[in-house]
Structure 1
Amino acid sequence: MDKNAIRQENPELNDGLLEYGKIKTLRDDATAKKTGEGFEKIGSLYFSYQTINARFDSYHVSSLSTVDLKIRCFYVVDFKETMKIKINNDFYEVEGYDTDNKKVYMYLFLRKVGYFDGGSYIETT
């Protein structure tokens, strides 16, 4: 199934495509010295931006002031809060997440922590 077909079946998740994964240290094969950092993609999900509701969402994260984005995407069974989220070339950490009762969608509370300049990962915090 191509991306356009998925987008047409789920019109409410049409704000973009995120990737989730880990930041990996890149090393020189001969010397084992660190040459940079790269993103190891585990999966990708369509998402939609959501409005942060201070009364309700404060139960899911320790401090809403650290949250830059709230997004909704499909529920992934093996998703972990330690994974990094990449949207365009910006990286986010998961401050918290919540699922709906049927476990169809999950809501991610994200904090921007860096960006990818094409060659390596650069932290902003």
Structure 2
Amino acid sequence: MLSPFDAHIDAELAQAVATIAHLRRALEETSTPGEAEEVLDLFEKLLRDLERVKPTVIGRTRQHGASWDAVGRSIGMNKDAARKKYNTNNVQRALARIQDGRPATPHPQRAPVHP
């Protein structure tokens, strides 16, 4: 059985794979400004989805013994900034929201742009 960290990461990666497949299809079908905007929207969705899973991946990494220095290097921040942003309380809150079925952070939908 997967740990809460691993179960969440697995589900998020499955969603990211589906978004990537949709994005690839959209790239092949792009011929209008509206279709080009869909590609951008899908790309931004993928980035948001991956950013949402980041606290869980960091929590899992820490749970397996990685230092804050190593975590900070991997994500491009110093160890103190990484520890502050991804401390145990923040990771646990993100996991609790996930387990309750709530999004980790609200993501406003992008309004369509019409020329």
Q: TM-score, normalised by structure 2?
A: 0.28
Q: Computing the radius of gyration over CA atoms, which structure comes out larger, 1 or 2? A: 2
Structure with greater strand percent: 1
Structure with greater helix percent: 2
